[in-house]
Structure 1
Amino acid sequence: MKLFPKRKKDDAELKLNALSKGVKAGCQRIQGGWASWMMRRTENFSRRTWFVLLILFVLCTGTYSIYLGVNAFTSKNSNSITITPIKKPKHVTETGEANVEPAEVSEAEYSRIKRFRVYMDSLARSPAGKTLYESIIHNRPGLMDSVRFIENYYQQLKQK
């Protein structure tokens, strides 16, 4: 048994490979045509002509690069390089733990939560309410867990 067995290529992969090979061949054909056209146009250039063209190219690109650099630092346009200072957020050193106070659950809120849990339990037990219960649980998957968590939290606060 091999650790990495070879996969068989399906039709989609073969078509993709054929397409990519065709695109690659087309690009190479265009590049070859461009290169041969340029060779025909420049085959009669002397060494002096090549040297003058090289100097012109270097001067043009160098001048344009210097222009872009100087313009970036001196221009008032929005295209120039701007220096924006880094600002430290106000509360970067605060952890948030010091100001956390235990949440208070009033007796009225607890009784509402308890009534809701009893209602949901009655829905789950009755055949007519079973579909409603399942749709509620499907749309709000963690609802009953949250209700149990709040009830446990209230019991812990009551014990303190």
Structure 2
Amino acid sequence: MEKQSNKSAGQKEKLAVKVFRKVGSLMGKAQSVWAEWMNQRTAGLSRRTLYISLILFVAISIAYNSTVLVGGNSASMGFGSIEVPSKAPQPQIIDKAFQAEIKRVKRFTKFMDSLQGSPSGKKTYDSIMKARPGLLDSAKAMENWINNF
């Protein structure tokens, strides 16, 4: 079963590579066709006309983008004002689940601390620490993160 899933994953990867190569090839052809068309349209223009056209295009682009960035009269430019949405309240169910997880983490760290009080608890604590060495550190780090939240 494992070999078959590896084979199908390999086949999917090969198919994806073929698709991306084909799309890249088509994009390259489209760019070449566009460049040739533009070259034909501008072939009869003088060098001076091309420079003037370039300077006008750059000047208009800079003026428009500067106006947009500064926040000029957006109504005259053809688009409305952009409204920043108010912060949506967090759904109640997520808040309750988060509170339940906070309680679980705090209860766990309190339980682990209480295990060290008795000899039998100490054995349990040691076995947990041996099996999962970073567990208590992670729980305490999470508790600190929650307290700073």
TM score, norm. by length of structure 1: 0.39
The higher relative CO (CA closer than 8 Å, separation ≥ 6) is in 2
| Rg comparison, structure with higher value | 1
TM-score, with structure 2 as normaliser: 0.41
